[in-house]
Each structure stands twice: as structure tokens, then as C-alpha cells.
Amino acid sequence: MTMDMELLQRYDAPVPRYTSYPTAPHFHAGIDAEVYRDWLAEIPAGERMSLYLHVPFCTRMCWYCGCHTKVVRQYQPVGDYAAVLDREIALTAGAVPKGREVSHVHWGGGTPTMLSPDDFSALMSALRERFDFAEDAEVAVEIDPRTLTREKAAAMAGAGVTRASLGVQDFNDIVQQAINRVQPFEMSAEVIDWLRGAGIEAINFDLMYGLPHQTVELVLHSVDLAVKLAPDRLALFGYAHVPWMKKHQQMIDESTLPGAAERLHQAEAAAGRLAEHGYRRIGLDHFARAEDSLTRALDEGRLRRNFQGYTDDQATALLGFGASAIGSLAQGYVQNAVPFGAYADAIKSGRLAVTRGVEVDADDRLRRAVIERLMCDLSVDLSAVGADLGAPPDGFAGELSALAPMARDGLVELDGSRVRITETGQPLMRTVCAVFDRYLGTGKGRHSRAV
Ligand code: SF4
């Protein structure tokens, strides 16, 4: 059963993407570098850690961009930034007790491939020198094909990169011009050859729907072309038009943006086409081959959601490096200073650069677990999660009442304490999760619409 327009209009409210709970608009300045240092010292022995490194530079601004990044024309600021990252790696590693293994590294941005091969390799060496790496650690890098070279691909492979995630979005020239990101299919194909030739076998693609001038046909054409390059995983993100937060999005002519119904058709058509090509749907917006580790994690109830989207990484501590990078620890979330200058000044003076965050309490942990299971499994047993986290058995009576109209409309099924999002309700999964968000509507943050 597919969703009709009346239902979509009724439920398509602005809601968070739930890559964390509480979400980033609720971070505050009460969590600073000193708090972060204490939290790092308390990472329990035997815990696995995940590292995220943010490179906030690009050669050119894509008009749809929602990331913390800055356009630079010369290498010097990037090289200077690499030196600060190196210092931050040393400072952070010094605050973490020995014996905690790194299981996952993720380079994001911005554009990590702005780093020179030498700087990238040196930073990977610094990470390996300062932290203990698990033998099976995954090292993933987000790639802008326009800035990759054969030499960089070889350097990344030599530094132990195991997964490359390519930003593609759409292969149509008119769409690419409207988003200021011209990147022909042949360029992506060549980059894939370089990466695979260098030994980086695991390939992800990012595609988007809801971009200017996109139609169902164009989205399907991009899906078909992407599949020709045989990625292991694809992410299909809906363009979030938030020009009040991201000023460069004002460069997009709003009259060329597809409306809500068209966006839904694009998303559903692309999901259907990916299924025909043999990709399983994972959560909100990811797709993976049956044999992929993400699909196995889904089948085994081990799928997780974090700031990078969906992951099979089970690490309980995520340490962020770089301007604006977010980390997650058992005690709560932390975020580094967003302006490059403030971030660099802190690190150069020997301080960690965290300037805000939020501590999580027992109620946050419970709601976070419920939201994560819904975002990953589309199903949650509220009593079971509550029992795991020591909550009263009838703790979600109000939320179950709030879900009753959605159950009547076929978006969810309620069976005792179990909530299951139906196929019809899948595009509105964030709206279902929002029922469990006690901060929503407290006045902080504006979000994109659910579909
Ligand atoms: S390459 Fe990525 S981070 Fe850079 S402007 Fe484009 S979308 Fe934003």
C-alpha cells in the first residue's frame, strides 16, 4: 500500500533526522573541553572506539550542501588544518586511557580528498601511533570524485583505507548545473577504477532526490547508472531545503524544486528500482547488497544509527576531530567549535576544542534507544527496551495514545508494547520517532520536512 497525498499532508511535519538524541539544536555551552576531558578519561576498559575526522574545505560550493564547509582556492589553509588535526589527535589520545581499541575511522567533510596524499598518510600514521587499532578496523573516506587523483587513491589504500563513499547525487547535466556540481558519469566511473585498482573494494554511493529539475525519470536514470558501477551500498537522501540556515541554498531557484508529492514519488520509485537491482532497504535512506555487512547487521538486530547515518559499528564511544566535529560518549554528546579560527586557537594552546554538547540522563537513554530501534529496525518493543534500561513498564502510555491515530491511518501497527512502522508509514518514520522526542517543540531548531 502506498501513501496518499492526504496522509502525506497531514503527517509531513518538520522533524529531525535523529542521527542523535537529544538532537544537535539542544546542545549547549555547559558542556565544554573540561567536561569532555573527564568523559574521555572514563571510557571503560575494553570498550571499542570509533573516530570521526572532519575536513571542512571544498573547491566549490554545491548549492544543496548542508555541511560545515568552506571554499578554498589554495592548499595552504588545508595544510595548516592538517597540522592542527595532528595536534588534536595527540591531545585527545593523551586524555584516553590505554587499552581502548579503535574499530572504525570515518573521514568526512567537507572534502577529505582535499588533503594531499602526504598529509592524509601522515594523519593516518598519527592515528595508528596514538591509538590502538583493532585488526579488523574499517577506515572509510568520503570522496568528491572531482578532487580525487590516481595518486590520492593509491595513498589512501596505502594508509589502510577500506571503504570509499562517493558523492554523486544525480548524473543529469541540467540537475548538476542547477546544484553547482558538474561531475560527469565518466568521472565517477574512472574514480571507481582507481579506487578498486588500488585495492579499496568497498564502495558506497550517495544519491539524492528532491533536487532542482529532478523528475522520477531522471532519478531512476541516475539509479540505473549508479548500479552499473556496482556499489556495495547506496544512500538516497532527500534534499533538505533550509535556506534560512544555509544561505548558499538561496542560489537554488525554488520554482524548480519538486513538490512534496513528487518527492515522495521519486523516493519510492528509486527504492523500488534499487530493490529490482538486488539492493535491500536499510532504515530511512540506505540500500545494500544482501551480502553486505550492513544488511547482515540489519538481519541480526545490530544495525546502529549515528552522525554518519547507518553503521554496523558497535563502538560505544565516537570521538570527533576537526572544526564542528561531533562526538558521542556514554555520558552525552560533544561538539568542537565550528569556526575554524576558534577550533585552531583552542588546539594550538593545548586545549581540546569542545564548546558545546549535552549530557544524557536516564530518560534520554531510554528515548534514544527507542528512536534508534525504530530508525534501524522499523520496530521496537517498548517494554523490552524499558526493561533493559530499568524503566517502568507503563512508561510510554502517553506516546502509545499519540500513536493511535497513526495506527488508524495504517502508518504503524501497535501490538501491546510493540510498535511497528508499516511499509506505508516508512517514508514518515521520522514523524513516528518524533512522538518519542520530549524536546521537540521546545523552541530550539528548525528542521526539514519528513519526506
Ligand atoms: S562537496 Fe560536499 S561538503 Fe563540499 S560543498 Fe559539495 S556537498 Fe558540501
Atom of ligand 1 nearest to the CA of 64: 7
Tell whether the model's pLDDT for residue 7 goes beyond 90: no
Which runs of E-coded beta strand occur in 220-268? 233-238
d(CA 343, CA 345): 6
Atom of ligand 1 nearest to the CA of 109: 3
Q: Which three cell numbers stand for residue 40?
A: 574521555
Residues 6+ apart with CB under 8 A from 69: 56, 57, 58, 61, 109, 110, 111
Share of the chain above pLDDT 70, in %: 97
Select from 54, 57, 62, 247 the residue to mutate for testing ligand 1; criterion: most ligand atoms less than 8 Å from CB. Answer: 62
Q: How far apart are the first and last CA of the chain?
A: 17
Q: Under the phi-then-psi rule, with left for phi > 0, alpha for psi from -120 to 50, and beta for the rest, what region is 234?
A: beta
Domains and their CATH numbers in the chain = 1-18+361-451 (1.10.10.920), 23-359 (3.80.30.20)
Could you tell me the pLDDT band of residue 450, with boundaries at 50, 70 and 90?
A: low
User: What integer best gives the mean pLDDT of the chain?
Assistant: 94
Q: Tens digit of pLDDT for each residue in 177-235?
A: 999 999 999 999 999 999 999 999 999 999 999 999 999 999 999 999 999 999 999 99
Distance 23 CA to ligand 1 centre (A): 22
In terms of Cβ atoms closer than 10 Å to its own Cβ (0-12, 13-18, 19+), residue 88 is: buried
Residue 3 is predicted with a pLDDT of: 66
Tell whether the model's pLDDT for residue 92 goes beyond 70: yes
CA distances to 125, 207, 402, 421 from 4, rounded to whole Å, are: 53, 25, 21, 16
Q: Strands 163-169 and 48-55: what pairing?
A: unpaired
Distance 148 CA to ligand 1 centre (A): 14
For the Cβ of 61 lying below 6 angstroms from any atom of ligand 1, the answer is yes
d(CA 329, CA 33): 14
Nearest Cα residue to atom 6 of ligand 1: 62
For the Cβ of 111 lying below 6 angstroms from any atom of ligand 1, the answer is yes
Atom of ligand 1 nearest to the CA of 167: 2
Distance 350 CA to ligand 1 centre (A): 30
Q: Tens digit of pLDDT for each residue in 65-89?
A: 998 899 999 999 999 999 999 999 9
Tell whether the model's pLDDT for residue 445 goes beyond 60: no
Distance 38 CA to ligand 1 centre (A): 34
Tell whether the model's pLDDT for residue 408 goes beyond 80: yes
Residues 6+ apart with CB under 8 A from 389: 362, 365, 366, 369
Q: Tens digit of pLDDT for each residue in 342-357?
A: 999 999 999 999 999 9
Tell whether the model's pLDDT for residue 127 goes beyond 90: yes
Distance 88 CA to ligand 1 centre (A): 24
Tell whether the model's pLDDT for residue 286 goes beyond 80: yes
Per-position DSSP letters for 324-368, written without gaps between them: T-EEEETTEEEEE-SSHHHHHHHHHTT---EEEEEE--HHHHHHH
Distance 113 CA to ligand 1 centre (A): 11
Return the DSSP state at 145: T
Distance 330 CA to ligand 1 centre (A): 30
Tell whether the model's pLDDT for residue 143 goes beyond 80: yes
Atom of ligand 1 nearest to the CA of 110: 3
Atom of ligand 1 nearest to the CA of 181: 6
Distance 234 CA to ligand 1 centre (A): 17
In terms of Cβ atoms closer than 10 Å to its own Cβ (0-12, 13-18, 19+), residue 73 is: exposed
d(CA 105, CA 52): 6
For the Cβ of 145 lying below 6 angstroms from any atom of ligand 1, the answer is no
For the Cβ of 144 lying below 6 angstroms from any atom of ligand 1, the answer is yes
Distance 310 CA to ligand 1 centre (A): 20
Report the interhelical angle of 150-158 vs 185-198 (nearest 10°). Answer: 30
Q: Which three cell numbers stand for residue 31?
A: 558542556
